Structure 1
């Protein structure tokens, strides 16, 4: 089968991430043996959960208060703000990795605490990752090889 492209992978991974952990997301028919969206989504959840425990709480109010057409802007601004306040543990950690952490954390927080906004934020996250982080993730070797620890 043909390999799926990065944007399709991103959509599938984020869809898996937004599903409940007990739900099964079927990825066997995707045609890429190296691509495991469920495992990547689980790693992203772990990344986001850790970041949530240490940073997220003050910024979610801006996303929650945003009108429907302003969610993308509020989401993007909150992610950028999270990245600006992050203390880098090691000098070699790329700012893009911090941006990925912030993106996942904010999205998972919205999923948990603002369920009525889940679909809108899922779409905003997919757009954000494909437009702001795709180059870095591809440079790392793609989703299946990117370092998430």
Structure 2
């Protein structure tokens, strides 16, 4: 099994490829060769494209509720600052959303907000793609690893 950090990087790349409308098959092949080393034994249990699609859907579900907050944040800070201060941006929006929805698990809310914010920024500033990918990967690996692993890893996020 690949390390969690490698899986996260691969999923983020797949998510950004999907958000930017790139050819999924070509993107997945590139991800395999770049991030996975073409290790076929893990392909049965780890599908970054499927996980990326599930994450996108998760972000889309809360997007309407947090869109105005994301819009205000990017107007106040600018897209570059949102990317540079990605952890603060995600936490700020997540805390606002979680305060209105106390029944929601804070880690899953934070993950949903992270995906929605990435989508919002990358759609408005696609030139920030690499910075967004790095910021999202680092954020997930530092803030959400233990939660995702406690669920059984990326493959079991929705089980």
TM bin, normalised by shorter chain, reads 0.7 to 0.9
Which residue is 2:24 aligned to?
Answer: 23
Which residue is 1:37 aligned to?
Answer: 48
For residues 95-146 of structure 1, the C-alpha deviation after alignment (integer angstroms, 9 at most, x for no partner) is 1111101100000111111112121111100000000000100011000001
Which residue is 1:88 aligned to?
Answer: 101
Distance 1:95-1:62 versus aligned 2 partners, 3 A rule: same
CA distance in 1, matches of 2:50, 2:79: 33
Which residue is 2:84 aligned to?
Answer: 72
Distance 1:60-1:120 versus aligned 2 partners, 3 A rule: farther
| TM-score with structure 2 setting the length | 0.78
Native 8 Å contact 1:60 1:106 kept in 2? no
What's the RMSD between the two structures over aligned residues? 2.4
Which residue is 1:51 aligned to?
Answer: 62
Report deviation, 1:68: 5.0
In the alignment, structure 1 residue 131 sits paired with structure 2 residue 152: no
| TM-score with structure 1 setting the length | 0.83
Which residue is 1:11 aligned to?
Answer: 9
Native 8 Å contact 2:69 2:93 kept in 1? no
Number of residue-to-residue matches in the alignment: 143
Gap runs ≥5 in structure 1: none
CA distance in 2, matches of 1:43, 1:54: 19
Q: Which has the higher helix share?
A: 2
